Structures are given as C-alpha cells and as structure tokens.
C-alpha cells in the first residue's frame, strides 16, 4: 500500500508496525500451533466482520467528528485493533480520538482514506503472518 500522507490535525506514528505477531507471545501453547491458528483466524474473522462495518460507517459519515456515532466507531476500531496487535491502525484511531477530545479540527475526508488504507493494510499483514499460516 502507498504511504499514508499526513492528516492535518491528527497525530499518529506511521512507523508503528501494521501487525505485531509478538503481541501474542506467551498467550498460546507453542506445542499446539493448530489450536493457535484456529483461534486467531476465528478472532480475525470477527474483527473483519465487526470493524469492517465500522470502517464503512465512518466512510459514509457526513456529520461532524465530535458526533457520538463517529467517536464510538473510531473508539471501537481502536480497541479491537489494539487487541489484535494492529498497532498502526490503533494509533491512527487513538490520534483521531485525541483530536476530538481536545477539539482540534481535522480533515474528515483524509481521515476516511487513511482509515480504510490502514485497516486494509493491517488485515493483509495479519493474514500474511506466520502465526496464521
């Protein structure tokens, strides 16, 4: 994917990993990789289903960023991405949340594009990781 350009009013680290496989270190029995893979794929499927619809909701959103619906969707994506080790997507969403909290204006259109790209890139990185192959 192309490098995400800077979004005026949003601060997040574009150098964070798309997916950090070490996020799950010590969580699974190393002697049972099939169980690990099965559970991770199940969790990832739920993530794609739930967060995919939330990303779409943000893309369709035409109101103001401070609106509750927008903030709730961004917050949900941030938490879910962080739980799966998708640091950059979580960082983008936390940056958007922080901008909303402090009342900083930002480009909603650029944010939509960045959110979609980071979501897709994070999903691709997760799918390609040896943990789930």
pLDDT tens per residue across all 133 residues of the chain: 444 567 888 989 999 999 998 888 777 777 888 888 888 899 999 999 999 999 999 998 877 776 788 899 999 999 999 999 999 999 999 999 999 989 888 888 899 999 999 999 999 999 998 878 7
Domain extent for 90: 32-128
Q: Does any domain span residue 20? A: no
Is the distance from CB of 76 to CB of 89 less than 8 angstroms? no
Q: Does any domain span residue 58? A: yes
Written as six digits, the tokens of 121 are 């890139």
Alpha-carbon span 3 to 55, nearest angstrom: 19
Q: Does any domain span residue 52? A: yes
Alpha-carbon span 62 to 59, nearest angstrom: 8
- The count of structural domains within the chain is 1
Q: Does any domain span residue 103? A: yes
Q: Does any domain span residue 25? A: no
Instruction: Report the predicted TM-score, pTM, of the whole model to 2 decimal places.
Output: 0.89
Q: Does any domain span residue 123? A: yes
């Amino acid at each position: 994917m192309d490098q995400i350009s800077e979004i005026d009013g949003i601060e997040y680290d574009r150098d964070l990993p798309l997916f950090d496989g070490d996020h799950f270190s010590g969580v699974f029995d190393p002697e049972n990789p099939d169980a690990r893979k099965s559970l991770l794929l199940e969790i990832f499927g739920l993530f794609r289903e739930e967060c995919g619809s939330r990303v779409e909701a943000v893309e369709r959103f035409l109101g103001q960023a401070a609106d509750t619906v927008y903030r709730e969707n961004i917050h949900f994506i941030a938490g879910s991405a962080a739980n799966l080790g998708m640091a950059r997507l979580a960082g983008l969403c936390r940056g958007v949340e922080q901008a909303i909290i402090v009342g900083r204006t930002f480009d909603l259109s650029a944010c939509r594009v960045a959110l979609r790209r980071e979501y897709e890139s994070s999903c691709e990185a997760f799918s390609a990781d040896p943990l789930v192959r």
